[in-house]
Amino acid sequence: MDLKQYIRDIPDFPKPGIVFKDITPLLLTPKVFSHIVQTFVDRYKNSRLDKIVGIESRGFLFGAVLAERLSVGFALARKKGKLPYKTREVTYELEYGTDTIEMHVDALNPEDRVLIIDDLLATGGTALAAAQLVEKFGATVVGLSFVVQLGALGGANRLKNYEIFSQVVYN
């Protein structure tokens, strides 16, 4: 299935010069959404996963369904201040400044094998921080998966120490 036909380009969003890849049409079409989830299921069904970590917020959409289909736990990686319980966190560099993601302290166990999922891989900063956060728990990152990868932005290079899988790659 050609997923690119369901991804909309939004010029100058969120700022001038950026072409935003809008995945909402993928979500509007049940057979397309199902195809995406099944592709992830087929890839990871034999990976002995314990948990899936979804990165805020579109990673929640794919990660929760995938976790249910693979009968594993689902944990949230959110921006600082969004989780109500005690957390562990990782702060990472942005182009101009820093950001922090966190997870509840009881989200992962040291023996867990974890798949991290998000909708899009761009520069890789958030995904790398999520991997570092998973490792802070002593858990093992089995891989990082994305629906869309913007190859020209170099995110895969930042994540070269991990297995990366993307269903759609723009170069």
Per the omega criterion (within 30 degrees of 0), is the bond before 57 cis?
Answer: yes
**DSSP readout, 103-155?**
EETTS--TT-EEEEEEEEESSSHHHHHHHHHHHHTT-EEEEEEEEEEEGGG-H
Which residues are registered as beta bridge partners of 79? 101
Measure the CA–CA gap between 118 and 148, rounded to whole angstroms.
9
Q: Which of 50, 124, 137 is nearest to 89 (CA)?
A: 137
What is the distance between the alpha carbons of residues 157 and 123, in angstroms, rounded to a whole number?
9
- Is residue 39 within 8 A of residue 19, CB to CB? The reply is no
> What residues are labeled active site?
58, 95
Collapsing DSSP to helix, strand or coil, 7 comes out as coil
